[in-house]
């Protein structure tokens, strides 16, 4: 009824204003568009508001509606059913060529795309937005580090001329982006400030995202056009010259001249080097590069990757348990198999990393994960406010201070799997107390190390015995606040790894041993590792019950023994006694994968949580189901890690090298 009244009013209003036949045709066109607008308002009022905000006039709205109707025809649907479909969540974005994203508001995204299209079409207001942005000037070392651009030109921008038949409704907005400079470079440059012009529909978060995206694109284009392309041309000329020397009569002198000319390549300056830090091409090549210096302990690459996949496998099983509809029957059957002990005791996989020191800043992952994760999924298992209590409002500062492993209250814990990072940082802070005595006196250093080791053993044993904590397995996760996360229970592998590094330094990675003694040592450490992994099989399936004293002894020493086994593998391979084990662990394919293990550790639980929480039905737990999930988790985790490394980790490392002028030691 309301729609009919609206149609009648529109008809009366248009008839009163008619003058000729064209006006009648325009009137009926307007009535058709009015019907489209009314249906859109009724079915998708929020989308209609977004369209109105993004464009300027009624005719522009009609152009958008025409595109939506065209899209409905392409999808084989009527206009009404198309706009009512829940699958088409963002009709305005459907009409744009820009891909959907959760990192930038819809209106800002469409207006930014309009600027890009307008620039390609040489529309004056789009050219003005680009022209108003600041550009690097000369005399940078002399203090010319504020590239302000044209403030008035930016504010004077109005979207008068249409782009793609649409007149957009926004103005220019002037913003500044700053980069603080420290280190040696700070003698000359304190801060670089750049003025930029963006649509006034973009907020601060939108502008930051646009800047990051633009810098990555510019960096990649600069790299390919000015750095890589000359190299490719040089290689082509060199190959051509070699061919002429071999097959033509041109002569040696001419070939030498050609080679001399072909060696002229572009040398980037300060700004060029900064752009190269964000180049997807160079950063991607850096990750995927398999060449390493001759002094690198190559077996560590394999240990890192295998340990990371083991961590992912263990957490994958735990995630599957929470969404399985046959857990009561499947888990007892699993525990009867001795091979399943590698899962129940997979928690020592993290202890492998304590012998391989990592120092990762992870605030970016925490910020993005906590703020965006609650909005990217849905389902009966999906937690409305996300898996983190109160958006980590009461917990994030514990992570920043690296003390989140000492917090007992579950409501004050954030990204619980990062307990390892807190332990690692705490051990790193304590390490000079051991390394300094080792540097000046081997005997004194070993004495201090043994004091730390005895301290961690005694404290772990006392706590385990007092609270009657079971030996290893899944049961230990129920005692996180007593023993699982605590540094006094985890420092053993770190101490062993530290002393192993000291021995490799003192021996120069050169240690020869009789082959029979080498085999005996490998057999001993292999037996110890199997004892740690499979020794609790009887206790896990209930056929054997360990006493509280035996359980306390296992909880006290098993992580240190595992660290000792990993350290032997590293020491033996680094000194040339690893044989085929070193060949496997030093496989070049592990090199790029090992570079991604830090980001993989940070993101693997996020990937698994998303998979688990978006399930519409429970799964039937069996080996094939778990294998497929595990392979999917591994591939997605490392794919996400690769993107994050390109977008954040490697650019920051590149800027650090440029700004701080750190000397790269040649091996």
Residues 6+ apart with CB under 8 A from 163: 114, 117, 118, 121, 123, 126
The encoded tokens of residue 501 equal: 């590094």
Distances (CA, A) of 433 to 104, 125, 411, 424: 47, 63, 34, 15
> Residue 443: pLDDT above 80?
yes
pLDDT, tens digit (0-9, with 9 covering 90-100), for 557-609 = 999 999 999 999 999 999 999 999 999 999 998 999 988 988 898 899 999 99
What is the spatial distance between Cα 402 and Cα 399, in angstroms, rounded to a whole number? 5
Alpha-carbon dihedral sign for residues 629, 635, 640, 645: positive
What is the spatial distance between Cα 237 and Cα 231, in angstroms, rounded to a whole number? 10
DSSP, residue by residue, 2-29:
HHHHHHHHHHHHHHTT--SHHHHHHHHH
What is the spatial distance between Cα 427 and Cα 452, in angstroms, rounded to a whole number? 11
Backbone torsions φ then ψ of 176, nearest 5 degrees: -125, 140
Average pLDDT value for residue range 203-215: 74
Q: What is the pLDDT of residue 181?
A: 66
> Residue 135: pLDDT above 50?
yes
Taking the complete model, does pTM exceed 0.75, yes or no?
Answer: no
Average pLDDT value for residue range 47-61: 57
Average pLDDT value for residue range 262-267: 53
What is the spatial distance between Cα 8 and Cα 5, in angstroms, rounded to a whole number? 5
What is the spatial distance between Cα 57 and Cα 209, in angstroms, rounded to a whole number? 29
Length of the chain: 667
Residues 6+ apart with CB under 8 A from 82: 68, 71, 72, 75, 88
Q: Hey, what long-range contacts does 407-413 have (CB within 8 A, 24 or more apart)?
A: 408/481, 413/389
pLDDT, tens digit (0-9, with 9 covering 90-100), for 605-652 = 999 999 988 887 778 888 888 889 999 999 999 999 998 888 777 776
More confident residue, 115 or 47: 115
Average pLDDT value for residue range 517-523: 95
What percent of the chain shows pLDDT beyond 90? 21
Residues 6+ apart with CB under 8 A from 5: none
> Residue 498: pLDDT above 50?
yes
Confidence of residue 239 (pLDDT cuts 50, 70, 90): low
CA angle 519, 523, 526 (to 5 degrees): 135
Q: What is the pLDDT of residue 477?
A: 67
Average pLDDT value for residue range 36-49: 61
Q: Within 10 Å of residue 493's Cβ, how many Cβ atoms?
A: 26
The encoded tokens of residue 509 equal: 């990675």
Average pLDDT value for residue range 183-207: 76
Q: What is the pLDDT of residue 258?
A: 45
Q: What is the pLDDT of residue 378?
A: 80
Distances (CA, A) of 622 to 305, 311, 339, 619, 629: 25, 19, 14, 9, 11
Q: What is the pLDDT of residue 246?
A: 52
Place of tokens 């996989």: 349
Region of 156 (left: φ > 0; alpha: ψ -120 to 50; beta: rest) is alpha
Q: Nearest to residue 283, comparing CAs of 667, 643, 662?
A: 643
Per-domain residue ranges for the chain?
A: 1-16+104-229, 298-645
């Amino acid at each position: 009824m309301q729609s009919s009244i609206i149609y009648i009013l529109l008809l009366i209003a248009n008839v009163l204003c008619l003058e000729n036949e064209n006006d009648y045709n325009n009137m009926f066109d307007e009535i058709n568009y009015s019907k489209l607008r009314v249906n859109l308002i009724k079915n998708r009022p929020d989308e209609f508001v977004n369209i109105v905000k993004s464009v300027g006039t009624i005719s522009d709205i009609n152009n958008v509606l025409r595109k939506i109707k065209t899209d409905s025809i392409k999808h084989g649907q009527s206009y009404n059913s198309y706009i009512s479909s829940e699958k088409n969540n963002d009709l305005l974005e459907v009409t744009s060529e820009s891909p959907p994203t959760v990192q930038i508001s819809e209106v800002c995204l469409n207006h930014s795309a309009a600027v890009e299209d307008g620039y390609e079409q040489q529309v004056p207001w789009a050219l003005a937005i680009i022209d108003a942005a600041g550009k690097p000037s000369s005399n940078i070392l002399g203090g010319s580090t504020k590239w302000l651009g044209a403030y008035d030109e930016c504010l004077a921008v109005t979207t008068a001329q249409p782009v793609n038949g649409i007149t957009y409704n926004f103005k220019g907005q002037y913003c500044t982006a700053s980069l603080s400079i420290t280190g040696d470079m700070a003698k000359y440059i304190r801060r670089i400030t750049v003025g930029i012009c963006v649509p006034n529909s973009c907020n601060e978060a939108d502008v930051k995202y646009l800047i990051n995206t633009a810098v990555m694109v510019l960096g990649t284009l600069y790299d390919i056009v000015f750095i890589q392309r000359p190299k490719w041309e040089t290689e082509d000329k060199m190959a051509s010259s070699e061919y002429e020397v071999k097959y033509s009569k041109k002569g040696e002198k001419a070939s030498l001249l050609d080679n001399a000319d072909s060696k002229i390549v572009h040398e980037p300056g300060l700004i060029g080097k900064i752009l190269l830090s964000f180049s997807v091409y160079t950063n991607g090549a850096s990750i995927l590069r398999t060449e390493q210096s001759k002094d690198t302990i190559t077996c560590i690459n394999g240990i890192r990757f295998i340990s990371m996949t083991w961590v992912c496998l263990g957490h994958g099983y735990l995630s599957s348990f929470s969404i399985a509809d046959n857990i009561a029957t499947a888990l007892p059957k699993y525990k009867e198999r001795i091979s399943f002990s590698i899962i129940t005791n997979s928690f020592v996989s993290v202890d492998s990393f304590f012998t391989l020191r990592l120092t990762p800043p992870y605030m970016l992952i925490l910020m993005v994960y906590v703020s965006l994760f609650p909005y990217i999924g849905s389902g009966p298992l999906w937690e409305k406010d996300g898996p983190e209590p109160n958006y980590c409002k009461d917990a994030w500062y514990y992570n920043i201070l690296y003390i989140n492993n000492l917090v007992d209250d579950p409501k004050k814990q954030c990204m619980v799997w990062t307990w390892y990072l807190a332990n690692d940082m705490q051990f790193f802070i304590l390490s000079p107390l051991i390394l300094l005595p080792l540097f000046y006196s081997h005997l004194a250093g070993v004495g201090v190390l043994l004091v730390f080791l005895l301290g961690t053993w005694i404290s772990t044993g006392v706590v385990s015995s007092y609270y009657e904590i079971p030996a290893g397995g899944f049961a230990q996760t129920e005692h996180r606040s007593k023993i699982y996360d605590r540094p006094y229970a985890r420092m053993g592998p770190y101490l062993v790894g530290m002393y192993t590094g000291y021995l490799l330094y003192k021996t120069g990675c050169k240690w020869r041993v009789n082959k029979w003694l080498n085999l005996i040592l490998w057999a001993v450490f292999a037996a110890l590792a199997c004892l740690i992994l499979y020794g609790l099989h009887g206790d896990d399936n209930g056929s054997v019950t360990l006493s509280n004293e035996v359980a306390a002894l296992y909880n006290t020493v098993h992580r240190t023994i595992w660290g000792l086994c990993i350290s032997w593998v590293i020491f033996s391979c680094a000194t040339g006694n690893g044989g085929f084990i070193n060949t496997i662990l030093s496989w070049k394919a592990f090199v790029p994968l090992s570079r991604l293990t830090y980001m993989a550790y940070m993101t693997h639980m996020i990937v698994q949580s998303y998979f688990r929480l978006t399930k519409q039905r429970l799964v039937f737990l069996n080996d094939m189901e778990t294998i497929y999930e595990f392979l999917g988790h591994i591939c997605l985790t490392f794919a996400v890690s690769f993107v994050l490394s390109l977008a954040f980790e490697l650019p920051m490392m590149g800027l650090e090298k440029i700004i701080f002028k750190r000397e790269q030691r040649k091996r």
